[in-house]
Structure 1
Amino acid sequence: MTSSAFRALGVPTHLAAVLEARGITTPTPIQAATLPDSMSGRDVLGRGRTGSGKTYAFLLPMVARLTESGTKRAPKRPRALILAPTRELATQIDEALAPLAEAAGLTSRTIFGGVNQRPQVAALTRGVDVLVACPGRLEDLIAQGFVTLNAIEITILDEADHMADLGFLPSVRRLLGATPQTGQRMLFSATLDKAVDTLVKQFLHQPKVHEADSAESPVPTLHHHVLHVSNDAHLPVLVNLAAAPGRSVVFTRTKHRAKKLAKQLNAAGVPAVELQGNMSQGQRERSMAAFHAGTAQTLVATDVAARGIHVDDVGLVIHADPPVEHKAYTHRSGRTARAGAEGTVVTLMLDAQRSDVRDLTRKAGVKPTITRADERHPVLVEIAPGERTFPGGLVKPEPQQPTGGRRRNPAGDRSRGAEQGRGANRTEGRAQSRSERPRGAAQGDAPSGRRQGQPRSRSAQPVGTGGAAAFSASTGRGRGRR
């Protein structure tokens, strides 16, 4: 099939040409299912897993219909609104929109907290066609009189179930209620639970419902493994997997753990960056830029990255800390095996986590291969093939004496690791920072993939003075508190 497949679904030729220039010629199932209705102006409810192509499923009809409508943008009165749960997802949507908008002569602007609002206000005052916004900051700007939604022709709600998980539904209801009832509305979600169904019944008019690649359906190109490891082997196994060629995403339960593991991976010679809620917007952008560019081969993240973040060729997802519930497992795992590509998901399981992981995978509808392993086990190379960057391949490096300064105390490192495993999880459970909270907080938005690709560039330095400490540091015991 060529781009004529998109034209057959109603996509204008100039927009299909933009897709073809980006190597996109075949509609995904969710695009093929929804485009005929959305292009005709119908309200649409699309259900599909992350990575199924939902972004173009709503961007294409939005751009086409705004072009056809003939209305003009005006100061403070955008013509279309896309609501997203996280600033990372909003930025990603806007990046996908940019070439389509340029081809159609439209303008767009992202609106989210955690950054100075002045550039956002300046763009709104000039007038924009499309707002890609997180709910909290948008409501703040409406309250300040910098924007109104009474000229919105098309409203799109992306990752509706994640909005519900983050507590944004009251804000979403207020914002949808501020848009004209006569406008077209599209809602996309990986799951359709009771909270999302309430939005559908309240705001969508006789919607056409389409489901493709739902979160519950199996991904034939995604391979699941559970590695049963001891506390001492947890970090060496993680380093071994992350050191293999290809991009990987490592998920942790807490912000402190993400920061710590990123440092430990770097110390072991694996270029890594973190993504967690205590980082500023600038820090987040620098981390994602490094990961996109390949200067960092591993992204260590909390669930801020489980939804909506797309990076090509992520071949491996590692649950360093098993998630609390199965929906998080599904969405974390969706960072790989996107759009038909193959991918692997590994869950590191301690003795105390066996029951939880068994229940988790059962509810997620997956049957993983379970292996009791340490850093020398050959299954690690089977899961993540390729030469490792640290000396000795599968062999755990021996502790090395620092060349200067005070000698590090491995026992002290283990003590700090154990302390992290207990105290950091309590810290994570405290009230979120201002930039992470749903509506009512000052910033108003929450924080927030294949291994077959070319090997990443990375430093080939041996595990030196920090690497030995990284291998000997404990990862903490048990799953901790939320």
Structure 2
Amino acid sequence: MTSQFARLGVPTSLVAVLAERGIQTPTPIQAATLPDSLAGRDVLGRGRTGSGKTFAFALPVVARLADTANPTARRRPAPGRPRALLLAPTRELAAQIAESVKPLADASRLSTLTIFGGVNQNPQVRTLKSGVDILVATPGRLLDLRDQGHLSLEAVEVTVIDEADHMSDMGFLPGVKKILAATPRDSQRLLFSATLDNAVDVLVRQFLHDPVVHEADSAVSPVTRMEHHVLTVSAAERSDVIADLAAAPGRTILFTRTKHGAKKLAKQLNGRGIPAVDLHGNLSQNARVRNLAAFDSGRVETLVATDIAARGIHVDDVALVVHADPPTEHKAYLHRSGRTARAGSAGTVVTIATPDQRGDVQGLMRAAKIKPTVTPASADVLRELAPGERRVFSADEVADRTPSAPEQPSSRPRRSGRGGGSGRGSGSGRAAGSGRSGQAPTASQPQAPRGQRAGLKASGNGSGRVPSGVAPAGSTRGAAAFSASAGRSVRRRTR
């Protein structure tokens, strides 16, 4: 039977690469754009993050450069003169694009290079001098190397601008215009964006030639299987509610408004025995890579991030997104929330709102065209939104899992791995089978169940109550023990 990708015009060799990775059916944005992009047309693709845009542009880029009709005649790239340019707004997105492109390029004997700031440029310069077919880059480092004379864009045959609206939000459009102006006027240009605001529209009108416009999914509508909730909490309850959600089984992303807030919250969670890593602009590139890798692999199941992770970060099976700090504008809310409910999976989005934030949150939801379920935080509500036993770890175990956590003295052997088999049940209203679950254990990565953490104590009227304190990890009363005030139960950690 002919592959659906083959029917769209994707070369057989690339279809085989996709099949090896279990990719058989094109997403709507891929099905819409591939016939035109493969034919050499300029394309404007509009679709939400997570809609499959990376392969929508990676496939035509590789197919064009590979010249599958006559591979022996394919020319080699000249030193410092890449043949294709894939531009991304952040280092993390550039790295993830490169990861998706590489197997396609390898199958077609094409070379790739990723360049971004925050790291030594010398290895990048050396690779450029050897000749590169496909260059994945962020605008700042690309312009730096161009201005230093290390590369020219005069040989670029196809340019891709990914997350164009994010480029605009981050103030990169002047640099993007310089970059596009340096590529040949008759070269192919593919622009992908979740929204098309005025700034992006100017980019389209100035640099794309008679583009074909394709849209997959509304740029403002929520993902179909995404549940939106607002939890109203007092200022005193806020930290405990966030910690309770973070301690639930499976991957969770907590968004904060500031870099300092992300660092502080991750530190607080680690101190409570809930392994967490942070992701924000103040981290070195190596730390960002380590932390994201720990989260992506499942070794750490809680990521605390600023909006740097709201766009283009692709991590599977994130079933819970928590706006620990509500964003200031609705586009940020939608893009943050888009980290869950990806590839047809269900997901839950929770916004924490203290009394002084409720008015702003109401306006935010109206602008985003979201009608959330608004409820006070309680034990029952938290267990419905994030099912599963809460778990904490000892300080040593937290250090084992978190690459950026301060080193803790330990006489115990270090071990890695993540909790597995504690998927989130279907009792929360999610479709069965979409639970939060861990990866299967491997022989080289022994698994340990996530330790229990006592949750909010349900009161007699079922409303629940947020506990005021948690015993330190490693306490003789058990790592999950709450302070035993009147009427409060203490649950011991079982091993």
| TM-score, normalisation: structure 1 | 0.82
Secondary structure of 1:378's match? Answer: helix
Query: Are 1:84 and 1:132, in contact at CA under 8 Å, matched by a contact in 2?
Result: yes
Query: Are 2:317 and 2:436, in contact at CA under 8 Å, matched by a contact in 1?
Result: yes
Distance, in Å, in 2 between the alignment partners of 1:10 and 1:467 is: 59
Determine whether 1:20 maps to 2:22: no
Determine whether 1:387 maps to 2:389: yes
Deviation at 1:461, TM superposition (A): 7.0
Distance, in Å, in 1 between the alignment partners of 2:438 and 2:388 is: 9
Equivalence for 1:452: 435
Equivalence for 2:472: 465
Determine whether 1:76 maps to 2:75: no
Cα deviation digits, residues 71-114 of structure 1 (max 9, x gap): 32111110000111000000000001111111111111111110
Query: Are 1:269 and 1:460, in contact at CA under 8 Å, matched by a contact in 2?
Result: no
Query: Are 2:159 and 2:190, in contact at CA under 8 Å, matched by a contact in 1?
Result: yes
Determine whether 1:319 maps to 2:318: no
Secondary structure of 1:232's match? Answer: coil
Determine whether 1:244 maps to 2:248: yes
Cα deviation digits, residues 297-335 of structure 1 (max 9, x gap): 100000010000011111000000000100000000010
Secondary structure of 2:236's match? Answer: helix
Deviation at 1:186, TM superposition (A): 0.2
Query: Are 1:31 and 1:53, in contact at CA under 8 Å, matched by a contact in 2?
Result: yes
Deviation at 1:57, TM superposition (A): 0.3
Cα deviation digits, residues 205-234 of structure 1 (max 9, x gap): 000000002321332111100000111111
Deviation at 1:364, TM superposition (A): 0.8
Cα deviation digits, residues 104-161 of structure 1 (max 9, x gap): 1111111111000001000100010011011111111011110000000000000000
* Equivalent residues in 2 for 1:62-73, closer than 5 Å: 62-68=61-67, 70-73=74-77
Equivalence for 2:416: none
Equivalence for 2:424: none
Secondary structure of 1:98's match? Answer: helix
Secondary structure of 2:331's match? Answer: helix
Query: C-alpha root-mean-square deviation of aligned residues, in Å?
Result: 2.0
Query: Are 2:235 and 2:354, in contact at CA under 8 Å, matched by a contact in 1?
Result: yes
Equivalence for 2:153: 149
Distance, in Å, in 2 between the alignment partners of 1:195 and 1:314 is: 31
Secondary structure of 1:124's match? Answer: helix
Deviation at 1:373, TM superposition (A): 1.3
Distance, in Å, in 2 between the alignment partners of 1:28 and 1:458 is: 35
Distance, in Å, in 1 between the alignment partners of 2:153 and 2:319 is: 41
Equivalence for 2:51: 52
Deviation at 1:294, TM superposition (A): 1.0
Q: Given residue 378 of structure 1, which amino acid in structure 2 is its aligned partner?
A: D
Secondary structure of 2:343's match? Answer: helix
State which of 230, 234, 259 in structure 2 corresponds to 1:230: 234
Query: Are 2:340 and 2:346, in contact at CA under 8 Å, matched by a contact in 1?
Result: yes
Distance, in Å, in 2 between the alignment partners of 1:89 and 1:200 is: 22
Q: Given residue 274 of structure 2, which amino acid in structure 1 is its aligned partner?
A: V
Distance, in Å, in 2 between the alignment partners of 1:3 and 1:241 is: 46
Secondary structure of 1:269's match? Answer: coil
* Equivalent residues in 2 for 1:157-176, closer than 5 Å: 157-176=161-180
Higher RCO (C-alpha 8 Å, min separation 6): 1
Q: Given residue 104 of structure 2, which amino acid in structure 1 is its aligned partner?
A: L
Cα deviation digits, residues 414-462 of structure 1 (max 9, x gap): xxxxxxxxxxxxxxxxxxxxxxxxxxxxxxxxxxxx9624247565276
Farther off after superposition, 119-128 or 213-222: 213-222
Equivalence for 2:31: 32
Equivalence for 1:43: 42
Deviation at 1:467, TM superposition (A): 9.3
* Equivalent residues in 2 for 1:358-373, closer than 5 Å: 358-373=362-377
Deviation at 1:20, TM superposition (A): 1.1
* Equivalent residues in 2 for 1:111-190, closer than 5 Å: 111-190=115-194
Q: Given residue 168 of structure 1, which amino acid in structure 2 is its aligned partner?
A: F
* Equivalent residues in 2 for 1:329-348, closer than 5 Å: 329-348=333-352
Distance, in Å, in 2 between the alignment partners of 1:176 and 1:11 is: 26
Distance, in Å, in 2 between the alignment partners of 1:30 and 1:157 is: 15
Query: Are 1:316 and 1:451, in contact at CA under 8 Å, matched by a contact in 2?
Result: no
Secondary structure of 2:314's match? Answer: coil
Query: Are 1:269 and 1:461, in contact at CA under 8 Å, matched by a contact in 2?
Result: no
Determine whether 1:353 maps to 2:344: no
* Equivalent residues in 2 for 1:259-274, closer than 5 Å: 259-274=263-278
Equivalence for 1:87: 91
| TM-score, normalisation: structure 2 | 0.80
Distance, in Å, in 2 between the alignment partners of 1:3 and 1:220 is: 30
* Equivalent residues in 2 for 1:238-317, closer than 5 Å: 238-317=242-321
Equivalence for 1:6: 5
- More helix per residue: 1 or 2? 1
Distance, in Å, in 1 between the alignment partners of 2:212 and 2:90 is: 26
Q: Given residue 472 of structure 2, which amino acid in structure 1 is its aligned partner?
A: T
Query: Are 2:389 and 2:452, in contact at CA under 8 Å, matched by a contact in 1?
Result: no
Consecutive aligned runs of 4 or more in structure 1 exceeding 6 Å deviation: none
Distance, in Å, in 2 between the alignment partners of 1:219 and 1:86 is: 23
Distance, in Å, in 2 between the alignment partners of 1:300 and 1:129 is: 36
Secondary structure of 1:250's match? Answer: strand
Distance, in Å, in 1 between the alignment partners of 2:474 and 2:55 is: 43
Distance, in Å, in 1 between the alignment partners of 2:114 and 2:202 is: 27
Distance, in Å, in 2 between the alignment partners of 1:135 and 1:219 is: 30
Distance, in Å, in 2 between the alignment partners of 1:190 and 1:208 is: 16
Q: Given residue 356 of structure 2, which amino acid in structure 1 is its aligned partner?
A: A
Equivalence for 2:109: 105
Deviation at 1:269, TM superposition (A): 2.0
Distance, in Å, in 2 between the alignment partners of 1:131 and 1:33 is: 25
Distance, in Å, in 2 between the alignment partners of 1:161 and 1:123 is: 30
Distance, in Å, in 1 between the alignment partners of 2:361 and 2:474 is: 29
Query: Are 1:270 and 1:458, in contact at CA under 8 Å, matched by a contact in 2?
Result: no
Give structure 2 stretches of 5+ with no counterpart: 69-73, 394-432, 440-447, 454-469, 484-495
Identity fraction in percent? 64
Distance, in Å, in 2 between the alignment partners of 1:23 and 1:189 is: 26
